[in-house]
Structure 1
């Protein structure tokens, strides 16, 4: 072992520790529970109207910032359905250009605090649902 600075011993020790560590999953938070709790909002019905066949949800942060009406959006005669439609439409446009990607970022203009629309970025991730089926979640760029 001389001359290898103990690297073989370190690897053997780590392997032995890795073999000994077993953990039991105590609880998993399902997508269904997240929807029931309001952490995610199921928007699959409207997404299907746009031709998106995979279940889609948005995070409560996306809903609060960009779907829920702000005073400026009310002044601009906006509606929650219209704002959600815009998000889903832009998601669909970007997703059609990145069919094989599991994560995409997309932009759209949304009326937030000012009557003048702001350019915002959102992230969509396609991953496994509660039963392994594909599902899409639209979120803020810093969410996961």
Structure 2
């Protein structure tokens, strides 16, 4: 019988949230997402972050809500029951956070449903090229 491989390094979800690599989306329960939900910093910057000096009537809480509702819909329509880990494609229409953008554009994202630090199900929203 072979011995298990030694663990070289670990990086937990809690550490990623503490470091700012992941941003918690606390409104997940109101959006009817039963799992702890976070978004990567890169996806947050593209989908949610808003410059308050931009004159358009947008705010980060509203943009976060849009991401959560789209994630909930994607998971409900495409998740495979009893599968431990899944990457579910999704998109959200958002006004890009630039000075001259006024029209919403689609942003492709992924809702990753998988195990958290203690094996509990968690949802992480990310850009398609992230893992």
Q: TM-score range by the shorter chain?
A: 0.7 to 0.9
Give TM-score, length-normalised by structure 2. 0.86
Give TM-score, length-normalised by structure 1. 0.79
Q: Please show how residues 54-93 of structure 1 align to structure 2 within 5 Å.
A: 54-70=35-51, 74-93=54-73
- Alpha-carbon contact 1:75-1:115 (below 8 Å) kept: no
**Relative CO higher for 1 or 2, CA cutoff 8 Å, sep ≥ 6?**
2
- What residue ranges of structure 1 are gaps of 5+ in the alignment? 1-18
Larger Rg, first or second structure (1 or 2): 1
RMSD of aligned residue pairs (Cα, Å): 2.0
Q: How many pairs does the alignment contain?
A: 124
Regions of 4+ moved over 2 Å: 19-23
In structure 1, distance between residues paired with 2:128 and 2:52: 24
- What residue ranges of structure 2 are gaps of 5+ in the alignment? none
**What does the per-residue CA deviation read over 1:44-77, in whole Å, with 9 as the maximum and x for residues that have no partner?**
x2011111110110000011111110479x3221
Structure whose residues are more often helix by fraction: 1
